[in-house]
Amino acid sequence: MVVAYHPSTATTPSPHVESNPYSVALAQYDRAVRYLNLKENTIEFLRYPHREFTVNFPVVRDNGKLEMFTGYRVHHSTVLGPSKGGIRYSLAVTLDEIRALAMWMTWKCALAGIPYGGAKGGVVVDPKSLSARELEALTRRYAAELIPLIGPNSDIPAPDMGTNAQVMAWIMDTYSMTVGYSVPAVVTGKPLNIGGSLGRSEATGRSVITCMIEALKRQNMNHPDDVSIAIQGFGNVGSNAAHYAHSLGYKVVAVSDVFGGVYNPHGLDVPALQRYTTETGSVVGFREADSITNDQLLTLSCDVLIPAAMEGQLTEENAPYIRAQIVVEGANGPTTPEADDILNDRGVLIVPDVLANAGGVVVSYFEWVQDLQAFFWDEEDIYKRLEKQMQHSYRATENTAEEHGVDMRTAAQMLAIRRVADAFETRGVYP
């Protein structure tokens, strides 16, 4: 059963509770709508998820013991089209986290100009604690529970933290077996041999660097070899951002993962570092680099800081010590509203997550379109389309920021919220 998120029963967390990502999402929303001449009914409508789904389901472990798991799927909006958003497997998954990520996906899709609303899903589990068989069983049972929600015209999941292309393949197959025919467009981020798209795994990292380049132009920093970059997180987003930046001649001086980080002020050999992490599972111990902690990485002397790990990394405690001139958010929600205020007051340019890391959903949209039309594009075409889309979104956000005298995050949310609000008011309220 799909349970609606009704205002009379909803708990709206205080925007001052930093540890709650939904509080941060609502605080950002409230800031942006102050600058928009929207109807009160519209403002109220957009604060709430359209629907929420919580399920407790069994998985039989390899030892024969049945274990119960909890999963979520939240649709924040379906005003502009089907809802779209990743599925994450993590012990840190909470309903408020999923609510926040779904809301951010709504703004991300609207800002990117693609016909989706925002969704997010997750299962409370450490995927590394499961065998391959257990992971498949968990995924297929969770997917089976989502059948009333997902579909190529209703809700299209994608990979996120703790999930990957294989997990998407299992979801696609489970859905297809249920309806009786193959439906590649039900998920994105799939393997290429069942309808995935070229360029999907690199897309988010590339979009982060494309936005970084646009931001550097604003600061008149046009020589790559003079620009130093520190990247927190070396998963899909961080590693691809580092690789793309390095290939363009930028100097990546520091990266980190959950175990720690490495730093070389003269620049890291990123391809060698990627090979090293493939072999060892971490950046820690990489040669010709000093060891640093994640906290130290955030406050290094560098031109660009890219937080590409978890939410809530830049806070009012460490924001005064950030030395980068530009922060480009590769992760979702890495900066709290309090940190936003401090960094903006200090003149640090923040390129927000809703803009910078939209490459993943943009190429997911490309994959969905290719699946629906059963006609696939080459990698060069995808990268050109992605770059053009990201440049257009960045410049529209920058123009809005300058026109209204606001920071880039507020400008991005203003643009996105306005697009969703206009569509809502045009469609009207049913019945």
Give 3-state DSSP helix, strand, coil % of the chain, rounded to 5: 45, 15, 35
**SS3 (DSSP) at 290:** strand
Whether 97 contacts 122, CB under 8 Å: yes
Q: CA of 98: how far to CAs of 42, 78, 162, 253, in Å?
A: 22, 16, 14, 33
Q: CA of 364: how far to CAs of 53, 106, 382, in Å?
A: 23, 14, 11
Q: How far apart are the first and last CA of the chain?
A: 21
Alpha-carbon Rg for the chain, nearest whole angstrom, is 21
Q: Hey, what's the torsion of the CAs at 378, 229, 242, 376, to 10 degrees? A: -20
User: For residue 12, which of 42, 20, 312, 39 has the smallest C-alpha distance?
Assistant: 20
- Cβ atoms within 10 Å, residue 417: 23
Contacts with 406 (C-beta within 8 Å, 6 or more apart), sequence order: 35, 400, 414
- Quote the CA–CA distance of 200 and 388 in Å, as a whole number: 16
- Quote the CA–CA distance of 425 and 249 in Å, as a whole number: 47
Pull the structure tokens for residue 235.
């998963």
Whether cis (ω within 30° of 0) applies to the bond prior to 431 is yes
- Quote the CA–CA distance of 141 and 366 in Å, as a whole number: 28
- Cβ atoms within 10 Å, residue 369: 15
Whether cis (ω within 30° of 0) applies to the bond prior to 58 is no
Residue 186: DSSP 8-state: G
Residue owning tokens 């800031």: 31
Contacts with 300 (C-beta within 8 Å, 6 or more apart), sequence order: 230, 253, 254, 263, 292, 323, 324
**SS3 (DSSP) at 55:** strand
Is 120 noted as a catalytic residue in this protein?
A: yes
Q: Which of 84, 108, 120, 251 is catalytic?
A: 120
Pull the structure tokens for residue 37.
């001449």
Q: Hey, what's the torsion of the CAs at 152, 161, 272, 260, to 10 degrees? A: 170
Q: Which residues are catalytic?
A: 120
